Structure 1
Amino acid sequence: MSYIEAFLLALIQGLTEFLPISSSAHLILPSAVLGWEDQGLAFDVAVHVGTLAAVVIYFRKEVVSLLNAFFASIFKGERSKESRLAWMIVLATIPACIFGLLMKDIIELYLRSAWVIAATTILFGLLLWYVDKNASLIHDEYQATWKKSLFIGVAQALAMIPGTSRSGATITAALHLGFTREAAARFSFLMSIPIIMLAGGYLGLKLVTSGEPVHIGFLLTGIVTSFFAAYLCIHLFLKLISRMGMTPFVIYRLLLGFGLIAFLSFS
Structure 2
Amino acid sequence: MSLLHLFLLAVIQGLTEFLPISSSAHLILFPQITGMADQGQVIDVAVHVGTLGAVVVYFWADVWMGLKGIPDMLRGRLDTPGARLAFLLVIATIPVILFGLVLKLTGLDDAMRSVAVIGWTMLGFGLVLYWADQVSDGEKTDRDWTLRDAVIMGLWQAVALIPGTSRSGATITGALFLGYNRRDAAKLSMLMSIPTIIASASLLSLDVIAEGNSALAWEALIAAIFAFLSALLALALLMRLLRTISYTPFVIYRVILGIGLLAWAYA
The normalised TM-score by structure 1 is 0.93
C-alpha separation between the residues in 1 aligned to 2:57 and 2:202?
A: 19
Query: Does the CA contact (< 8 Å) of 2:78 and 2:84 recur in 1?
Result: no
| 1:198 and 2:227 correspond | no
CA-based RMSD: 1.9
In structure 1, the partner of 2:246 is: 245
Deviation at 1:109, TM superposition (A): 4.1
C-alpha separation between the residues in 2 aligned to 1:103 and 1:76?
A: 32
Query: Does the CA contact (< 8 Å) of 1:14 and 1:230 recur in 2?
Result: yes
Query: Does the CA contact (< 8 Å) of 1:181 and 1:245 recur in 2?
Result: yes
Deviation at 1:215, TM superposition (A): 5.0
| 1:101 and 2:101 correspond | yes
C-alpha separation between the residues in 1 aligned to 2:76 and 2:38?
A: 48
User: Secondary structure of the equivalent of 2:243?
Assistant: helix
In structure 2, the partner of 1:222 is: 223
Query: Does the CA contact (< 8 Å) of 1:45 and 1:204 recur in 2?
Result: no
Specify whether residues 66 and 109 from structure 1 end up closer, same or farther in structure 2 by C-alpha distance, changes over 3 A only: closer
Specify whether residues 106 and 217 from structure 1 end up closer, same or farther in structure 2 by C-alpha distance, changes over 3 A only: closer
| Larger mean Cα displacement after TM superposition, 26-35 or 91-100 | 26-35
Extract unaligned runs of 5+ from structure 1: none
Query: Does the CA contact (< 8 Å) of 1:42 and 1:214 recur in 2?
Result: no
1:1-267 correspondence to structure 2 within 5 Å: 1-75=1-75, 77=77, 79-104=79-104, 105-215=106-216, 218-266=219-267
Deviation at 1:37, TM superposition (A): 0.8
Deviation at 1:242, TM superposition (A): 2.9
User: Secondary structure of the equivalent of 1:244?
Assistant: coil
User: Secondary structure of the equivalent of 1:129?
Assistant: helix
Query: Does the CA contact (< 8 Å) of 2:24 and 2:163 recur in 1?
Result: yes
C-alpha separation between the residues in 1 aligned to 2:109 and 2:76?
A: 43
Deviation at 1:108, TM superposition (A): 2.3
Query: Does the CA contact (< 8 Å) of 2:120 and 2:258 recur in 1?
Result: yes
C-alpha separation between the residues in 1 aligned to 2:20 and 2:112?
A: 19
C-alpha separation between the residues in 2 aligned to 1:241 and 1:250?
A: 14
Specify whether residues 144 and 202 from structure 1 end up closer, same or farther in structure 2 by C-alpha distance, changes over 3 A only: same
Query: Does the CA contact (< 8 Å) of 2:65 and 2:81 recur in 1?
Result: no
User: Secondary structure of the equivalent of 2:140?
Assistant: coil
What is the one-letter code of the residue matched to 2:111? Y
CA deviation vs aligned residue, 1:106-135 (integer Å, no higher than 9, x gap): 432431111000000000000000110111
**Number of aligned pairs?**
266
C-alpha separation between the residues in 1 aligned to 2:73 and 2:203?
A: 28
CA deviation vs aligned residue, 1:124-165 (integer Å, no higher than 9, x gap): 000000110111101112212211110100000000000000
Query: Does the CA contact (< 8 Å) of 1:85 and 1:141 recur in 2?
Result: no
User: Secondary structure of the equivalent of 2:264?
Assistant: helix
Extract unaligned runs of 5+ from structure 2: none
C-alpha separation between the residues in 2 aligned to 1:5 and 1:228?
A: 16
What is the one-letter code of the residue matched to 2:124? L
Query: Does the CA contact (< 8 Å) of 2:27 and 2:44 recur in 1?
Result: no
The normalised TM-score by structure 2 is 0.93
| Larger mean Cα displacement after TM superposition, 216-225 or 30-39 | 216-225
| Larger mean Cα displacement after TM superposition, 123-132 or 252-261 | 252-261
C-alpha separation between the residues in 2 aligned to 1:84 and 1:202?
A: 26
Deviation at 1:221, TM superposition (A): 3.4
Deviation at 1:207, TM superposition (A): 1.0
Deviation at 1:220, TM superposition (A): 4.4
